[in-house]
A = this chain, B = another copy of it.
Amino acid sequence: MQHGDASSATSGIEYFFKPRSIAIVGASEDRRKPGGRPFAALIEGDYSGKVFPINPRYEELAGRRCYTTVLGVPDDIDMAIVSVPAVAVLEVLEQCARKGVKAAVVFSAGFGEVGAEGEAEQEKIRKLSRESGMRVLGPNCFGIMNVRNAVMATFASELEMKSTSPRTLSLVAQSGAFGARMFEDATKAGVGCTSFTSVGNEADTEFSDFVDYLLDDPDTKIIGGYLEGAKDGAKLKRVAERALRVQKPLLITKVGRTRAGSRAASSHTGSLAGADEIYDAFFRQMGIVRIEHPDEMTAFAILHRDGRDYSGGRVAILSGSGGHGVMLADKCETIGLSVPEIGGHTRAKLERSLPAFGSGKNPIDLTAAANGKPEMPSGCLRALAEDEDNIDVILTMAFFQWEHSKELAQEFVDIYRSTNKPIVVMAHDRPDSDEAAARFALLQSAGIPILYDQFQAAEAIAKLSWYQRKAKRGRVVDGGPQAPDPAARAEVRERLRAGEPLSEFGCKQLLKSYGIPVTREGLATSAEMAVELSRNLAYPVALKVQSGQILHKTEAGVIRLNVASDQEVTRAYEEVLANARSYAPQARVEGVLVQEMVRDGVEVIIGVTKDPVFGPAIMFGLGGIFVEALRDVSFRIAPLARADAEEMIDEIRGRRVLEGMRGKPPADRDALIDTLLKVSQFVADHGDQIDELDLNPLVVLPKGAKVVDALITKTSR
């Protein structure tokens, strides 16, 4: 079994999916019982391995020898299903480990989810697993099911092997009930499931382990997940990156959006980084499709099955009602698709197919006049399918309630086969007659996706188009700026190690050694020195008292801006020092920073915060009021690919400010990207040494950028 670049922690997962033999501890003939359903399903179904019922109360179950414990089984056991009361679980697992069982599925509840005592029991399971090498799924889970081998190691009655639809979807869920419902919904919507895993309390194995395994499963083309929180953010990140590389879409429902626990933080960045903001950024960064409504997943899966390229996102809409067409076009444009005007050859062809009453515009309104004239919709569809220049996806009504719809369905199929362009058919209702069903089946057997809600169709196209663009581009993290030489890096490490908090000047020195541009400035320890520095910098200048104990300089009154003459500098120097003494008498003052004034740029903020799940996250936003009043910021998990930096800039609502407004020249986007990547490099080298970092503001100039103020908080140990 090949697991690509995944960590060795996933080894053994294959025994959950492909066990050669299964023991059911707590087996029963009553198929309503958790230990009854898998037993019945395994012996009655297509499972070809050996099945051993274990239950001290029976000699025999369903005509098979029943064992008291797994230790009595005269054969090897790959997988054990454990369905016994919580108090008995540990003993059973110890027996399993002794027996050399490779994988144990523990249904039993009453562990981590019920408090400290249960958590302690669960920790024992984890320890047993670590020591024995036996992998454990659960406890408190619905189990696992793999259709290919007919492995039914779950008690959920929603999970059925039979499905006539093509199977492409595997499900992994942190809630068994939610996952079972996803399975049921998918099956009903015509999306066949390949496997199902309910990970429960994740004592040993976790969500990411199963996703990782499925990336190599040839039956799985797409993975649907339900996630409450990743146990190991770094592992999920590795798995998500690999998923993007092997082009298997991850579709994840992540709840808790508005209940984000806010964390205490002393920086702007920290206070803006709610748990859900970070998850959302992570999903966007990794090309994970975030599912809001359960139906979105099935619609995506139906489109994804056709194997066609939606990435361009330019949609032609063929509708039988003007109002619905415009409504759908509105929707498309609201969610990032475009509905371009149609011109040239295609327009001419459309005009030949359309009656006088219709409109040649996109959306294309056939009007009721096309009823009974199958050459009208098919002529339009063919014209659109042949347009190689301006249309990427065709979204068409079914038109199958009309006369001559049988010929029309065949025409749709012929056109579909003649093109590589995706064609998505929207039907108002599921077929209500045998003829209608036959027409739908004709389309489906040709691979044409059919959806029953036009907004859902648009959403699915938008999501698949986004995903395919992400997958095409991939994630390249090594294209960033050069790291500093080892000596400089070691020097930074040393300075971050020392106990004293860093002053602004101290922070900027570190940033400078990473090539991050800062204001021209110098530290004065006398008024005369301040005057000399000011003259060298050229007036006007700014004066700021430097002390690791005075971080809120404005509040302390230790800043003077626009100081314009020698005389003023001398006066300001004394004043700010006096203010510092009265604000914080104990503070150790390094001196007064004399700094050039930076004008004519756009103030932005770049920050770093530590997310408890994903580690260092980088934030970008426009400075001042944009951040404070609008929380108009974007996040990405470090390290950044260049594309991440680009997306961070494009995601903020106020991005137009960077493009130059009120006659100002545009801000230097490359310099901004470069700074983001250098911050990322800094974090890659020293993330373990810092808790927070704020460049606030970084002024992005028409050419270049400069950090005007900076704050680095060392890790508190």
- What is the interface of chain A, defined by CB distance below 8 A to chain B? 109, 113-114, 174-175, 177-178, 181, 226, 228, 253, 255-259, 292-293, 320-324, 326-327, 329-331, 333-334, 356-357, 368, 428, 455, 625, 628-630, 653-657, 661-662
Contacts and interface: CB of A to CB of B under 8 A. Distances in A.
A675 to B, nearest CB: 21
A496 B215 CA distance: 73
Nearest to A110: B357
Contacts of A324: 177-178, 181
Contacts of A625: 654, 657, 661
B630 A321 contact: no
29 contacts: A113-B357, A114-B356, A175-B322, A177-B323, A177-B324, A178-B321, A181-B324, A228-B323, A228-B326, A253-B327, A255-B323, A255-B326, A255-B330, A256-B326, A257-B330, A258-B329, A259-B326, A259-B329, A259-B330, A625-B654, A625-B657, A628-B656, A628-B662, A629-B654, A629-B655, A629-B656, A629-B657, A630-B630, A653-B653
A451 B334 CA distance: 27
A321 B228 CA distance: 13
A258 B333 contact: yes
Copies in the complex: 2
A646 to B, nearest CB: 19
Given A629-B655, A630-B630, 12 more contacts: A109-B357, A174-B323, A178-B322, A226-B323, A253-B323, A253-B327, A255-B326, A255-B330, A625-B657, A628-B656, A629-B653, A630-B654
A432 to B, nearest CB: 11
A334 B255 CA distance: 12
Given A255-B330, A258-B334, A357-B113, A323 B629 contact: no
A187 to B, nearest CB: 13
B259 A629 contact: no
Given A255-B330, A258-B329, A321 B656 contact: no
A175 B629 contact: no
Main secondary structure of the interface of A (DSSP, over half): helix
Contacts of A257: 330, 334
Contacts of A662: 628
A288 B320 CA distance: 28
Contacts of A356: 114
A223 to B, nearest CB: 17
Contact of A322 (B177, B322, B357, B428): B177
Nearest to A253: B327
A36 B233 CA distance: 68
Contact of A330 (B109, B258, B321, B629): B258
A617 to B, nearest CB: 21
A357 B114 contact: yes
A255 B109 CA distance: 52
Contacts of A654: 625, 629-630
A536 B381 CA distance: 76
Contacts of A331: 292
Contacts of A113: 357
Given A113-B357, A258-B334, A321 B628 contact: no
Contacts of A334: 257-258
A428 to B, nearest CB: 8
Nearest to A320: B177
Given A629-B654, A662-B628, A178 B323 contact: yes
Contacts of A661: 625, 628-629
B181 A321 contact: yes
Nearest to A333: B258
A387 to B, nearest CB: 21
A323 B177 CA distance: 8
Which of A255, A323, A630, A656: most chain B CB closer than 10 A?
A323
